[in-house]
A and B are shown apart, each in its own frame.
Chain A
Amino acid sequence: MTVRLGKRTIRCAILSIAAFSSCFVGVCTQTANAQSSQEAIKLLQTMTAGDASTLAATIAIKQLGNAKDVTLIQTLSAMKGSTPLGRNWLSGLANSLYRKSGSTQSAELSKFLADQSQDGEARYMVFQWLTVKNPELRKEMLVKMNQDSSPELRFLAIDEAVKEKLEVKQLTPLLDAARHPSQVIYIIDKLKQLGETIDQSKQLGFITEWQMIGPFDHVGIANFDKAFPVETDWANGKLQDEYQGKKETVKWKVETTKAPDGMVDLATLFEKEKGCIIYAVNEFESDKEQDAEVRLGCINGNKIWVNGKLVMSNEVYHTGTQIDQYAEPIRLKAGKNQILLKICQNEQKEQWAQDYQFQLRICDSTGKAILTKGR
């Protein structure tokens, strides 16, 4: 009830400000109006989750939709540096502005698209506007976009390129350019058909060597948040050789997966145990300090720690999986980085709920593999 009252109060305050600002805009000069629009754009750029910001943005976008001093290019440019939510609000405004006058602005839009320093999502939208009714122009432009800074445009360009029958010398640079796993795998398959040998797991940056221990008790999915001694010892850098497991004392084992998709099959390795937890450890050696992403595909409950910090926690079982299902940013140290996984299996009996597996890769924010030193 208190929260509800609080929200109402915020809402009233925002509406009062909007009403005031609306009157204010009505009587002010063109300059003041422009400032007001700039403030409204700034508000959309910095959008965060929650009711208060949504209500404020609702008022701002209405104001901007009626403003005479807001241009399409200005709106698209504002997407650069905006929050993800902000980019969607501005994208919504840009779509409306494009409907009003976009077809008369091809030259400005082409210039915007050519500027790779602009926001990738905005440029993708512009590309679609410019080419939707001109398939020849679309094809012509995509030929030059294999290395585009926008992941979406790069994806489109590679999609278009691989439609052709290509030779090794054409496929190799495409493989270097490709970031999305589906495209990397597709190109590797094509290269294999042409007699080339490519290590897919390495190309995508999957970690293949793991030290693993378990099973630990997870009957009744009761221990997802229980810190077994492995967790605490790992955090303290003092892992023991053996631990008390679910049924007996368990020891570390080393597994090197040869699967092209980096999959580690825990069901096979741990005799289809159900209601259990397996820990997996890897020491990842980075040649420099750098930003990276840890990307996991796992159909079971999971947690990941990197250098002692919890970076991922998903208490979800048997609702689909794929490469890069979960992705979180991390900061790699120069030298050795400690990675710990906790993979939890429930006790569902259905045939489709028996998988117990994971695949993990380290890459940059675009999806390009970062390999451990010496690999």
Chain B
Amino acid sequence: MRLNFIHFRSAYLFALGFSGAMALHSFARADWPMFRGPNAGSVSLEAKLPTTFGGEQKQNIAWRTELPGRSVGGVIVVGDQAITTSSSGMDQRRLHLVSLNTKDGSIRWEQELVARGRPFCHPTSANAAPTPASDGKYVFAFYSSNDIACVDMEGNLVWYRSLSTDFPKAGNDVGMSSSPVVVDGVCVVQIECQGDSFAAGLNAADGEVLWKLDRPKQANWSSPTIVKMLNGDQVVVMQSSEDLLAVSPKTGKLLWEMKLKCSTIPSTIAAEGRLFVPANGLTAFDLSSVGTNPSKLWDNNKLSANACSPLIVGKRVYTISRTVLASGDLFSGEFKWQARLPDAKSIWSSPVVAGNNLYVFGDDGRCFVVELGEEEGKVVATNELGEAVLGSPAIAGNAMYVRGVSSVWKIAEK
């Protein structure tokens, strides 16, 4: 009897160990799994990146891989894969999803579909505008045309939906750009436009629409943000020109909502139990009360963001308005300093931080490196890639992956 029990227990533990190993095997390590990276923070404090790169000497460029068509989205990094989308061909109807080996930039796998929704966009944008997302098991590629594909980590198509076929008036001919997020086995998309305007949670494994939430019928290019509450629950926060709200990712249940005129391009960020929303400049809310509307802590119109999403390092919040980087106190909202990015023209790419340096790309492909100090921000380098960059970079290990409109670059110390 005792022996049987031990055998049973061993078998049970073996099975448990096996299933754990299986899980580890099937879920690759996600280094920068979606737009703005882990926790939508855009920060990797441990990363050591070169401050000077590119130029005619191609300094500290580990590799560059040209891809078909164009993209204004970002790149994500999952394990040893750098994954990105692009759109090409007639009216940018061809939709590409490409994985590159992080080691050498060689193409690992590709998937290709045709847009079934409206592919039109402003000439400076692309159908491939949203950044893909991954949970380590699947990759979700979403496009302005509201086509969404899920593939496994080897690029095999798991499911596909044309959300513009499901909801025919979803679309915006300036181009959509809201990036999806994946949380608790649900891929959340925010499709806000003058037609069929909604947010939806799709089952990551099979594409079933688990919930759908009607949204204001106004164009919105901001992305949903995953926020971990103090009780450990993960919620999805969404903003629009009319409101700010949070839903449960699994059910779409509305957890709280408030009327607020938020920006419709930069997205929200959370840190230290607070939510920082691009609204009235920047507005901070207290998230410590679960289940009730967050209370407003402060707002400051000197910390406004017109296109780039804000980011937080330590006790400071950083925003970019046009070509000026501003710093404020995370807790009081007090404006601290600002630094003009020299000769910058137009900036769409949200910045990232590695160590104590902020990296931000202009749409002419110049990258400004700003050393972040308590009292000032000092531009320590300006680097030329020679290719337009509109998507936000990814950081993994001691490398930065940059999605130019026609290629992906790996930047690392040589």
Residues of A within 8 A of B (CB): 7, 11, 49-51, 54-55, 57-58, 61-62, 65, 84-85, 87-89, 91-93, 95-96, 99, 121, 124-125, 128, 151-152, 155-156, 180, 314-317, 319-322, 325
Contacts and interface: CB of A to CB of B under 8 A. Distances in A.
28 contacts: A11-B206, A49-B161, A49-B165, A49-B166, A50-B166, A55-B207, A84-B165, A85-B116, A85-B160, A85-B165, A88-B114, A91-B113, A92-B111, A92-B157, A92-B160, A93-B157, A95-B157, A124-B89, A128-B68, A152-B89, A156-B89, A314-B169, A315-B194, A320-B121, A320-B122, A320-B174, A322-B120, A322-B173
A88 B116 contact: yes
A95 B173 contact: no
Interface of B: 68, 89-91, 93-94, 109-114, 116, 120-122, 147, 149, 151, 155-162, 165-166, 169, 172-175, 193-195, 205-209, 219
Contacts of A88: 113-114, 116, 147, 149, 160, 162
Contacts of A92: 111, 113, 149, 151, 156-157, 160
Contacts, number: 114
Given A96-B156, A99-B155, A319-B194, A11 B208 contact: yes
B114 A121 contact: yes
Contact of A155 (B89, B156, B159, B219): B89
A85 B163 CA distance: 11
A285 B405 CA distance: 46
B402 to A, nearest CB: 23
Contacts of B120: 320, 322, 325
Contacts of A95: 110-112, 155, 157
Q: Which of B111, B161, B174, B207 has the most CB of A within 10 A?
A: B161
Nearest to B166: A49
A99 B109 contact: yes
A314 B155 CA distance: 36
A55 B162 contact: no
Nearest to A132: B68
A58 B161 CA distance: 11
A7 B203 CA distance: 13
A319 B193 contact: yes
Contacts of A319: 172-174, 193-194, 219
A155 B195 contact: no
A314 B173 CA distance: 12
B281 to A, nearest CB: 21
Contacts of B162: 49, 84-85, 88
Given A7-B208, A91-B113, A155-B90, A65 B194 contact: no
A156 B116 CA distance: 20
B110 to A, nearest CB: 7
Contact of B159 (A57, A180, A317): A57
B112 A125 contact: yes
Contacts of B194: 315-317, 319
A96 B206 CA distance: 18
A320 B122 CA distance: 7
B193 A54 contact: no
B113 A54 contact: no
B159 A58 contact: yes
A88 B94 CA distance: 11
Contacts of A51: 208-209
A179 to B, nearest CB: 9
A177 to B, nearest CB: 14
Given A61-B157, A89-B157, A121-B114, A180 B208 contact: no
B157 A54 contact: no
Nearest to A54: B207
A261 B89 CA distance: 22
A96 B208 contact: no
Nearest to B107: A132
A152 B90 contact: yes
A58 B110 contact: no
A49 B196 CA distance: 15
A95 B107 CA distance: 14
A374 to B, nearest CB: 32
Given A58-B159, A92-B113, A320 B173 contact: yes
A51 B161 CA distance: 9
Contacts of A49: 161-162, 165-166
A327 to B, nearest CB: 10
Nearest to B113: A88
B112 A58 contact: no
A156 B90 CA distance: 8
B256 to A, nearest CB: 22
B114 A91 contact: yes
B208 A54 contact: yes
A16 to B, nearest CB: 14
Nearest to B206: A58
A61 B90 contact: no
Nearest to B172: A319
B206 A55 contact: yes
Nearest to B68: A128
